[in-house]
Amino acid sequence: MKSIISLALCNFLISAGLCVLLLSSSALAEALQEPVDREFVAYCDGTVQKYVLILPGGELQVAHDLLIALHGHGSDRWQFATHDRDETRAVRDVAEQHQMILACPDYRATTSWMGPAAEADMVQLIALLKQRYPVQRVLLCGGSMGGSSALTFAALHPDLVDGVVAMNGTANHLEFENFQDAIRRSFGGSKQEKTVEYKKRSAEYWPERFTMPIGLTTGGKDETVPPQSVQRLAGVLRQLQKDLLHIHRESGGHATNYEDARKVLEYVVDKMETP
């Protein structure tokens, strides 16, 4: 009888110890530093471009992953740095939990849509941050226009991206009908005038380029950025047996709740860290 009680007590103490260990490791994630506004001169046209940089609270001499967050249409670099939306809070919390460097670029705000100039800025910014900090891996994320742009950039530059998360974005600019004035300016012309450019920036046409883990969220009632193209892309990526987590909420609109945003981000981070 005593041995049974001793065994039960031992198991309880082990479980309690594990809980304390888990809580301690979570608490070890130091708070992110305050956002700092930064700028660089774009190689492609000599303009001054801005981004917000939020460094981890820990030691910067060791390697850190870089999380780049792309804002939505009509917003700017401060959206993911300071706004209180579910998606933006999830991004900051994941950056803090994993002690990541968080960069939030304007990428030609406020109406970017990852046109040629924004793409060039992103390539330059990644190189700049890798030069200044010991960057290990790059995770690209965004919501709405930012989600669309994250997919576009990952398809164009899979060699620069180790993971991608797109929330409520589009994967097909040839069929997408909203925000056409802004997209026309960003892409240098209309769909009819620049068909190749629109196809080039439509992730759905390039599933084989997604060599990195992918997290996607879509809403069935999203009329701002309809989900169908991302759903089709997700279907092809599954057929190709890619590392993919796609959360679709049939009753959801043009937003991703905190839990879903956190889930797709953590999924990609976990896959990035797995050899």
Give the residue extent of every domain in the chain: 33-273
Residue 202: band (very low, low, confident or very high) from pLDDT cuts 50, 70, 90: very high
Digit-coded pLDDT (tens) for 66-115: 999 999 999 999 999 999 999 999 999 999 999 999 999 999 999 899 99
Three-state secondary structure call for residue 241: coil
pLDDT at position 200 over 50: yes
The single-letter code of the amino acid at 71 is H
pLDDT at position 13 over 50: no
Q: CA distances (Å), 113 to each of 52, 130, 150, in order?
A: 19, 24, 9
- Cα–Cα distance between 67 and 213 in angstroms, integer? 14
Task: At 262, list the tokens.
Answer: 């956190």
- What residues contact residue 273 under an 8 Å CB cut-off, 6+ apart? none
pLDDT for 223 equals 98
- Cα–Cα distance between 167 and 46 in angstroms, integer? 31
pLDDT at position 205 over 50: yes
pLDDT for 8 equals 47
Which among 202, 215, 208, 205 is positioned nearest to 152, based on CA atoms?
Answer: 202
CB 105 within 8 A of CB 78: no
CB 99 within 8 A of CB 30: yes
CA dihedral sign, ordered 26, 31, 35, 39: negative
CATH number 3.40.50.1820 given to 33-273: yes
pLDDT at position 47 over 50: yes
pLDDT for 28 equals 59
pLDDT for 18 equals 39
Other CB atoms closer than 10 Å to residue 27's CB: what's the count? 8
- Cα–Cα distance between 206 and 184 in angstroms, integer? 21
Three-state secondary structure call for residue 92: helix
Digit-coded pLDDT (tens) for 126-172: 999 999 999 999 999 999 999 999 999 999 999 999 999 999 999 99
Stated pTM of the model: 0.89
How big is the chain by its Cα radius of gyration, in Å? 20
CA dihedral sign, ordered 144, 232, 120, 51: positive
pLDDT for 10 equals 44
The DSSP output letter for 81 is: H
pLDDT for 59 equals 77
pLDDT for 12 equals 46
Q: What mean pLDDT is predicted for residues 9-17?
A: 44
**What are the residue ranges of helices labelled H in 83-227?**
86-97, 116-132, 145-156, 180-187, 195-200
pLDDT for 49 equals 98
pLDDT at position 25 over 60: no
**Any bridge partners for residue 153, and if so which?**
none
- Cα–Cα distance between 57 and 31 in angstroms, integer? 5
